[in-house]
Structure 1
Amino acid sequence: MQLLNTLYITTPESYLRLDNDTLRVEVDRETRLRVPLHHLQAVVCFGHVGLSAPLMHRLADEGIALVLLDDNGRFKARLEGATAGNVLLRQAHHACVKDAIFTLATARACVAGKVKNARQVLMRGAREAKLDEEAAMLTRGADDLAATLRALPGATDLDVLRGLEGEAARQYFGALNFVVKPEQRKWFQMDGRSRRPPRDRMNALLSFLYAMWMNDCRSAIEAAGLDPQLGFLHAVRPGRAALALDLVEEFRPLADRLALTLVNRGQLDEDDFVVREGGAVSLDGDARKAVVVAFQERKREEINHPVLAQAVPLGMVPLVQARLMARAVRESPLASQAGSCRDVPGYVPFLVK
């Protein structure tokens, strides 16, 4: 399944091999798909998928990223060739991360984008609620997020900002159950956000969708020439793509909206999930494929980007946002290692309607 130059492999026990200038996908030794390499920018494999060494070498040579995720969509590894990009931009990026004012402003923008988009999910749920009391609870949740937005300018350091973000997330996920249709709540009720592993069906679905958005955001950041390991909101840790985690925050509510659509329309039901010993929950093979197809279809939808003031496919928005982040870094006085970031316009997050 291919979209915007990304090939998603969801069928268990698939085997990928190089066939001249083509990637060939086999299942049970039968060829299921051929994709010319020049059409690809990334290959994303879910679960147990085999790959030939010649194919991995060729992907690296061609600059095509190979991403390995587990069955739940959790990141495992990424293979890519030599790092490309503007070294001066990366130097400016490192300088901006060291500036407390720029870092706090960028982190605040990431949180504001996430909270505003999450608030839209609850407000839309309130408008569509069948029961007045549920509409009232969703409206109250949206009001709580509005209070968080008003408090963000007063956050004087990253710890305070992260605390506000965490409290907003708790309030949001507490209200999200009421956006699920009553007849579906028996199977898709959430008791807060749970990860590694997800402990219920909705959390398993959200984790899977977040992982796909995360991969797109990391690829976008690398395409823009920034360092994906060096974030503003998320702390730097070895092996952690902190800047990709920053960027993906504003896209999480989009994943939530798709998850709610799939559940409320009955496109997924309780039998599409596997509950393992110990309580871990994951999507089964066919359900993973259905979610990827829905994700691809959603990414094809055109939206009016508020900064560009033009229509773009939703799947291209991470690339736009990564370039806006690169622009904020590039236009910072610290790009020339002089001055302060106090008056820099800064990063503008993507807001949905």
Structure 2
Amino acid sequence: MNPLLISGFGTSINVEKRKLVIQNKLKNEIHEFYPHRIEHDSIIVDGHTGHITFESMRWLTKHNVSLSLLNWDGNLLSVTLPDSPISGKLRIKQYQKYLDAKTRHKIATEFVKSKIGSSLNLLKELSKFHDFDFEKAKQGFDSETRFFLGKPVHSIQDILGYEGRIARFYFDALQKIFEKIAPQFHFTSRSNYDHKRADHASDEINALFNYGYAILVSETRKAINSVGLDAEIGFLHEILSSRTPLVYDLQELFRWIIDYSIIQLLEDHKLKKSDFVVTENYHIRLRENTAKLLIEKIRFNFNHKMPYRKKNFTYQNILYDQIQQIANFISDKRKDIEFVVPHWVINRDDNSMLRNRILSLTPDQRRKLGINKSTLWYMKRNLNDGKTVKIYGKILSKLDEIDRS
């Protein structure tokens, strides 16, 4: 994944002497790409005025670069996609699988099973570095799972209800993290009193969620299109007008990457209220620089390689492969379906146990470690504020010596 964000008034996209030229004269910015030398796989347009030529749209299509247009609130408005494979038989099979209640139930259950596993894993990893009651969240997950599996028959609504209740435990845990690392943004939940859906963000963190999920939707739609499936026929989410249920189904497998990217961004403690825009209806949207920071976190995480099918693959490639696997199941090339997404492991040297050891250091222990008094004061202040700190190997070894003495 390597998107290019285009934002601001007066942006133009055209082709000049074979080159794709993206220009904003007001900001004195210009991007030029020669044919077959564009490193970006998508362009995200977050602006309200400007123009794009037919020739540039043709250029992007020829180079397999999608063009995503975001609405004022950061939600995906539309996306242009390259040609889809001619797959009439695959789509007929997809419709048949959807109409078969037993098969649809099987696929929907696997979507939720994978999402819940990844969500619980992320909370477990985050609990190593953030103070929240992971065991309480896990007990909620386990209780709902036992209740769900204890029923002899499940409808699609039962599965959605199960997923929704798990999501509440999940976001309750995330709320505790956000309360510590970004209290100024006052995140409480994904829903508002006046909107059951979170489309219109009433706080900065929900605006980050909306923007990040829009990026994920765009990437998922592009991947579905490349395989030849019909995005309007899903298995977990219901068919609705102007909706793409299969996109929503598949993005459930990777939502946690967006969630973690947002936490990473907030852990940097660089975002302020002024990095967001408040609309006349008191909804929140991201400024251009904030969007770029979030996109960079998402890009890095989706390009992270993990062991998968005895090789190392990026999460972006794993997304494409999961879609190919469901296409194989739909076309009867495989007998069973299971969504396998490698669990993330957070590699940091400032886990909760170590952070507590630093916070509890006595003056005598500080001197043995060779830490300056003011340095320790700043370390403790940053740790109390939920910030990350660099703990060097020399300090770690001396801490072990203190523990043994």
Q: 1:192 to 1:345 in 2, by over 3 A?
A: same
Q: 1:198 to 1:110 in 2, by over 3 A?
A: same
1:45 aligned partner, one-letter code: V
Q: Deviations over 1:292-321 (max 9, x none)?
A: 12222222221122xx23211222222111
Q: 1:293 to 1:82 in 2, by over 3 A?
A: closer
In structure 2, distance between residues paired with 1:270 and 1:144? 33
Structure 2 equivalent of residue 147 of structure 1? 143
Q: Deviations over 1:8-34 (max 9, x none)?
A: 324453211122433211011756111
Which of the numbers 343, 368, 376 marks the counterpart of 1:352?
343
The structure, 1 or 2, with the larger RCO (C-alpha pairs under 8 Å, 6+ apart) is: 1
Structure 1 equivalent of residue 188 of structure 2? 190
Q: Deviations over 1:116-175 (max 9, x none)?
A: 211122222333234xxx3x3x32112212333444544511011111111112222122
Q: Which runs of structure 2 are paired with 1:265-344 in the superposition (5 Å)?
A: 265-305=268-308, 308-331=309-332, 344=335
Contact 1:11 1:289 in 2 (8 A): no
In structure 1, distance between residues paired with 2:287 and 2:4? 19
In structure 1, distance between residues paired with 2:338 and 2:107? 6
Measure how far apart 1:347 and its partner are: 3.5
1:66 aligned partner, one-letter code: L
Structure 1 equivalent of residue 361 of structure 2? none
**Aligned sequence identity (%):** 20
Contact 2:74 2:214 in 1 (8 A): yes
Q: 1:36 to 1:96 in 2, by over 3 A?
A: farther
Q: 1:239 to 1:214 in 2, by over 3 A?
A: same
Q: Which runs of structure 2 are paired with 1:148-297 in the superposition (5 Å)?
A: 148-153=144-149, 154=151, 156-180=154-178, 182=180, 184-194=182-192, 195-297=198-300
Runs (5+) with no aligned partner, structure 1 = 334-343
Q: 1:104 to 1:274 in 2, by over 3 A?
A: same
Measure how far apart 1:114 and its partner are: 1.5
Q: Secondary structure at the match of 2:290?
A: helix
Measure how far apart 1:81 and its partner are: 5.8
Q: Secondary structure at the match of 2:254?
A: helix
User: Which stretch shows the higher mean deviation, 103-112 or 62-71?
Assistant: 62-71
Measure how far apart 1:200 and its partner are: 0.7
Measure how far apart 1:181 and its partner are: 5.9
In structure 2, distance between residues paired with 1:262 and 1:31? 25
Structure 2 equivalent of residue 32 of structure 1? 30
In structure 1, distance between residues paired with 2:98 and 2:24? 46
Contact 1:181 1:264 in 2 (8 A): no
**1:9 and 2:6 are equivalent in the alignment:** yes
Q: Deviations over 1:87-114 (max 9, x none)?
A: 2212211111111111111111111121
What's the TM-score once normalised by structure 2's chain length? 0.75
**1:22 and 2:19 are equivalent in the alignment:** yes
Q: 1:352 to 1:327 in 2, by over 3 A?
A: same
Contact 2:199 2:210 in 1 (8 A): no
In structure 2, distance between residues paired with 1:332 and 1:232? 19
Q: Secondary structure at the match of 1:45?
A: strand
What's the TM-score once normalised by structure 1's chain length? 0.85
Structure 1 equivalent of residue 44 of structure 2? 44
Q: 1:109 to 1:172 in 2, by over 3 A?
A: same
Measure how far apart 1:46 and its partner are: 1.8
Structure 2 equivalent of residue 119 of structure 1? 120
Q: 1:96 to 1:36 in 2, by over 3 A?
A: farther
Contact 2:81 2:222 in 1 (8 A): no
1:34 aligned partner, one-letter code: E
In structure 1, distance between residues paired with 2:233 and 2:185? 39
Q: 1:12 to 1:349 in 2, by over 3 A?
A: farther
In structure 2, distance between residues paired with 1:313 and 1:183? 28
- Max radius of gyration: which structure? 2
Runs (5+) with no aligned partner, structure 2 = 193-197, 345-405
> Aligned pairs, how many?
333
Structure 2 equivalent of residue 341 of structure 1? none
Q: 1:22 to 1:71 in 2, by over 3 A?
A: farther
Q: 1:326 to 1:99 in 2, by over 3 A?
A: same
Q: Deviations over 1:316-345 (max 9, x none)?
A: 222111111112212269xxxxxxxxxx41
Contact 2:11 2:25 in 1 (8 A): yes
Q: 1:146 to 1:10 in 2, by over 3 A?
A: farther
Measure how far apart 1:57 and its partner are: 4.1
Q: 1:157 to 1:37 in 2, by over 3 A?
A: farther
2:183 aligned partner, one-letter code: R
1:17 aligned partner, one-letter code: N
Measure how far apart 1:65 and its partner are: 3.2
Q: 1:65 to 1:129 in 2, by over 3 A?
A: closer
Q: Secondary structure at the match of 1:128?
A: coil
Contact 1:197 1:280 in 2 (8 A): yes
Q: 1:221 to 1:227 in 2, by over 3 A?
A: same
